[in-house]
Structure 1
């Protein structure tokens, strides 16, 4: 059995999270969605971790902005969605649904989850019960539909919902409190949402991150994952886009 992965959170920009994933046995480290390079390189140096790879979930600059500088500093290879290769010039490997990406003795399955962007992917490590979802699934929320449809997002969230309930979900932004405020409007009678929002308020007041989440927690409190169909998700997404609470 390969060693358990070590995962470190690196805050960046105003509300981004970059993830450093380290495999102790091989001493390989990958960076998930580097918004910028400097904090990533500093954290890796502080921990004594050698960066060997970068995994991108989609092309947006707040997920790829650090690629070039990290690659130049470390020689890391960059993996990302084949469907968005034209928008990620630093890519070394283009991946699609069904491909696998290795980190030491671990393998991540590539899942195509388009909607936020047309070629968005996620990385699922089934042996660790961990999934890196970029901007598809958030704690109590989902990504905006910039390049895809509500039907795609609904299908993606239902697919993620079928992962083991204890699966840890690593998204790329600290949006939980604002998402929770909307969730209370979408499902005002959901006591699990109300309790979670209070917990999130306390955590954020103390400067504590609310990510990762779990599939089980999202099934109980995420109004987008809990949408009955694509039409309901579309209506909720439109309401959330306009929500000022």
Structure 2
């Protein structure tokens, strides 16, 4: 395998991730929630980071930017639309750009909704995507800077990725997301089994990530706006997909 992953916790519920391309020895940090756990992961693996890939400008994703840059001289890449809010940014990217980590191509996907300039990093050869706070396991991010139609379009893009794509997101919210999902889709047997598995993982203090696009399409209500059972449960049988998403997001905000 040309790519190795080290995933770990930062702050109270943020995920930190190191992505190591074994042929070149290059390593990327995905977002920078907190310096100490990232440094511990670097020490543990022996992987010296060469790049920091930022999904969006929120403080719990960029807090350690300048500290890491000072220590390692790494290159900070982030969304052009949020460049003014990303400390130490060197490279500004937009949808359609392709960057590299060693021999691995990383496609930039614009996924606004949680923030107006949010991006996702799609490692095409390794079949994995870092979705920040756009798509969560069994959830999606709150809409701080955009209206529901914007996030709906972003989620549609991610839902169209290959089914085997592994999804790494910014927070360990899966257990609470599962509880909400069951209020929307209580008869979904795949969701019920997944919720049990998640409870077991969290009881053992194990992460619930990565997930996959296939798993999310089967169980994540924020990608299942078309499902007739969910539509019936919400009394929205004839609503548009966009209206369905907006209603599910509103219910989650109040959950």
Structure 2 residue ranges without an equivalent (≥5): 227-240
**CA RMSD of the aligned region, Å?**
0.9
Q: Is 2:239 aligned against 1:241?
A: no
Which of 223, 230, 239 is the matching residue for 2:242? 230
Paired residue secondary structure (2:156): helix
Q: Which residue of 1 aligns with 2:94?
A: 96
Question: Displacement, 1:10?
Answer: 2.0
Tell me, in whole angstroms, the C-alpha distance in 2 between the residues paired with 1:10 and 1:205. Answer: 17
Question: Displacement, 1:80?
Answer: 0.1
Q: Which residue of 1 aligns with 2:34?
A: 36
Q: Which residue of 1 aligns with 2:122?
A: 124
Which of 168, 191, 194 is the matching residue for 2:192? 194
Question: Displacement, 1:239?
Answer: 0.8
Q: Which residue of 2 aligns with 1:144?
A: 142
Q: Which residue of 2 aligns with 1:55?
A: 53
Superposition misfits of 4+ residues, deviation over 6 angstroms: none
Paired residue secondary structure (2:245): helix
Aligned residues: 241
Q: Which residue of 1 aligns with 2:232?
A: none
Task: Give the TM-score of the pair, scaled to structure 1.
Answer: 0.96
Q: Which residue of 2 aligns with 1:217?
A: 215
Deviation per residue, 1:124-170 (Å, 9 max, x gap): 01111000000000000000011112111111111111111110000
Tell me, in whole angstroms, the C-alpha distance in 2 between the residues paired with 1:195 and 1:46. Answer: 34
Paired residue secondary structure (1:50): coil
Moved more, 112-121 or 234-243: 234-243
Q: Which residue of 1 aligns with 2:235?
A: none
Q: Is 2:195 aligned against 1:183?
A: no
Paired residue secondary structure (1:145): coil
Paired residue secondary structure (2:221): coil
Tell me, in whole angstroms, the C-alpha distance in 1 between the residues paired with 2:9 and 2:91. Answer: 26
Tell me, in whole angstroms, the C-alpha distance in 2 between the residues paired with 1:89 and 1:35. Answer: 13
